[in-house]
Amino acid sequence: MQESKQKELLVLEVHGKSIQVQPRTTLLSIAASLEKDFVYPILGAKYNGELVDLYREVTVGGKIEFFDITSLEGIRIYRQSLVFLLAKAVNELFPLRKLKVQHSLGKSYYCEFKGMDYTSPLDLMALEAKMKEFVEAEEPIIPQDLSRENALRILVAQGHEEKVALLENLNWKKIRIYTSGSYSNYSYRLLVPDTGKLKVFKLETYAKGFLLRFPVPGNPTEVAPNPNLPKLGQVFRESEEWVSILGVENLAGLYRHCQYDQQKYNQLIHIAEALHEKKIARIADEIYSQHEQFRIVLVAGPSSSGKTTFAQRLAIQLRVLGLQPVPISLDDYFVNRENTPFDEWGEPDFEALEAIDLELFNQHLRELIAGLVVEVPVFNFGTGQREWPGKKLQVNPGQPLIIEGIHGLNEQLTSAVSRKNKYKIYISALTQITIDDHNRIQTTDTRLIRRIVRDYQFRGQSALGTLKRWPSVRRGEEKNIFPYQEEADMMFNSALLYELCVLKKHAGPLLNEVSIEEKEYTDARRLLDLLAYFPEITDKNVPLNSILREFIGGSSIHGQ
């Protein structure tokens, strides 16, 4: 009898150790025995490569990896769980108000109450106190995979009309609903197992709404510093105005606006692109108004933000105004490969400022601005060496130099030129559309999907290869780009409201190739889950000069 029972046990590898458990044991109960090995509470797990919440029951043997807030997965779960906690508090204290999570701002989410132009500090104090009350109570947050009909009925009863409007358009037989006490909601991401795991947060008034502030990633016991990002906040507000013009602020609106009507999709594409063109023309007008002063135009932004297409479209607009801009490639000023600095992992750091020959670059800038003829180098990426093929360059006072690269906002890059003679532009893809009022889309996910498609199309790179490289890219951005973004004279949002609908057919097959055995499988799955929310539309009506063409191909600017 004992032998028969032993055969029923499931064998699991948990953080390098083999254990045996009864079938249908929850990960929560397994995690309880491991809490002593973690500094911070366990928030979720990977079970045979799949990202799961702790209420998952084990039904087959395999590998389990638990994680806490010190991991990227843990940070995502913690932040979305705080949104759930906030929405629960709003539902209890202000049941007639509609909470809208607008966008990220530093290590915070900016939130508003719909239709309200002011948020009272006293209301925030009450909300924060109520959230802390829930935390102290350690109320379970229980997931249930319900039938479509039951899930929608619960969401209707809870007043989540925008979620119902979206989910009615998705052909899902099961929908996961999270419930804590009498409150239920839908979440795009996994949530923590109970409210007691959410001890560190803060609410603070900001603009006409407020900030939901998160823990410091490197020190989860403290709330991150107050983000002082007025220019970034302004570009988000501008993007919200664009969304208002388009009449689509979330995915339910997108389906409502365009469903089964290709003509409406085409109209959406053309209006979104026209908003881009109008902003680029406005930037060109500003440069032209002081063109005798602005000798250098610097374009900087994170990976896959569309810097190259933007810089060339800006140059076209400047030519319309009678200027003759001259582009300079920072890539040609890389130091020879043997002189490339190394990062803290001992790998060549091509994104470090020191990977550029700053002395030579600034010498050439001084000479060009003085009107001298300069022989400029060309970097040979095959040999890793700078070459001198006799390429000459000379610029006149009416010819601004356009320099595009990740370090453009860092004064050290162009230290030889006075700040008053530089016009700095920060560009990034700041996703405008949300899944619903409480589930926003990470801007980094949009850029990552863009990069996966571009790397495959033009660099012979698989989705797996791009996913493996992405953490290093993100570290470089945190170090070399984001600290300088408020140095910009102008910010440009390169995101297009419709782009994930177009990128879906390109990225989906590539992400499906990532094997479950790979560490990056969970990221591939997460991106596929995101794309599943979007309707797929053809790219044939995407303009040939669109920033999106930089990634999907067919660009009239790049000749791709």
What are the helix (H) ranges across 208-346? 230-246, 251-258, 262-289, 307-320
Q: Is residue 559 part of a domain?
A: no
Examine the domain organization and report whether 317 and 336 are in the same domain.
Answer: no
First CA to last CA distance, the chain = 69
d(CA 445, CA 304): 11
The position carrying tokens 């040609």 is 332
Last residue of a domain, one of 177, 196, 223: 223
Whether residues 209 and 147 share a domain: the answer is yes
Q: Which residues span the domain enclosing 435?
A: 230-325+401-552
Q: Per the domain annotation, does 560 fall within a domain?
A: no
Put simply, whether the predicted model's pTM sits higher than 0.85 gets the answer yes
Distance CA 429, CA 443 (A): 6
Distance CA 87, CA 344 (A): 41
In this structure, is residue 366 part of a structural domain? yes
**Does 558 fall in a domain?**
no
Separation between Cα atoms, residue 446 and residue 435, nearest integer Å: 13
Contact 520, 513 (CB under 8 A): no
Measured CA to CA, the distance from residue 298 to residue 108 in angstroms comes to 28
| Shared domain check, 112 and 133 | yes
349 and 423, same domain (yes or no): no
Are residues 412 and 321 part of one domain? yes
pLDDT at res. 7 = 55
Note whether 101 and 437 are within 8 A (CB): yes
8 Å CB contact between 558 and 309: yes
The total number of structural domains in the chain stands at 4
Ordered per-residue pLDDT tens for the chain, 560 residues: 444 445 589 999 999 899 999 999 999 999 998 988 899 999 999 999 999 999 999 999 999 999 999 999 999 999 999 999 999 999 999 999 999 999 898 899 999 999 999 999 999 999 999 999 999 999 999 999 999 999 999 999 999 999 999 999 998 999 999 999 999 999 999 999 999 999 999 999 998 999 999 998 878 999 998 888 888 888 888 877 877 777 788 899 888 877 767 788 888 899 899 999 999 999 999 999 999 999 999 999 999 999 999 999 999 999 999 999 999 988 899 999 999 998 887 888 888 899 999 999 999 999 999 999 999 999 998 899 999 999 999 998 889 999 998 899 999 999 999 999 999 999 999 888 899 999 999 999 999 999 999 999 998 999 999 999 999 889 889 989 999 999 999 999 999 999 999 999 999 999 999 999 999 999 999 999 999 999 998 899 999 999 999 999 999 987 55
* Same structural domain, 279 and 359: no
Whether 316 is in a domain gets the answer yes
Are 463 and 525 within one domain? Answer: yes
Q: What is the pLDDT of residue 559?
A: 59
Closest C-alpha to 494, from 443, 545, 434, 429: 429
DSSP state of 494: -
Final residue before a domain boundary, out of 33, 49, 68: 68
- Does one domain contain both 215 and 300? no
**Residue 408: predicted pLDDT:** 93
Residue 352 belongs to a domain: yes
Residues 239 and 217 in one domain: no
Q: Which of 31, 45, 139 is nearest to 85 (CA)?
A: 139
**pLDDT score, position 262:** 77
User: CATH number for the domain including 44?
Assistant: 3.10.20.30
DSSP one-letter string for 518-534: STTHHHHHHHHHHHTTS
How many Å apart are CA 453 and CA 504, to the nearest integer? Answer: 10
CATH number, position 199 = 3.30.980.10
Please check whether residues 88 and 172 belong to one and the same domain. Answer: yes
User: What is the DSSP secondary-structure string of 132-194?
Assistant: HHHHHHT-B-EEEEEEHHHHHHHHHHTT-HHHHHHHTTS--SEEEEEEETTEEEE-SS---SB
Q: Is residue 81 part of a domain?
A: yes
Mark whether 251 and 297 lie in a shared domain: yes
Q: In which element (H, E) is residue 9 found?
A: none
Residues sharing a CB contact under 8 Å with residue 495, sequence separation 6 or more, in sequence order: 239, 429, 430, 431, 432, 443, 446
> Both tokens of residue 296?
């250098």
- Residue 560: the pLDDT is 57
Same domain, 354 and 211: no
Question: What is residue 345's predicted lDDT score, i.e. its pLDDT?
Answer: 78
Does residue 557 lie in a domain region? Answer: no
Please report the pLDDT score of residue 3 as a whole number. 47
Q: Which of 223, 256, 281 is the last residue of a domain?
A: 223
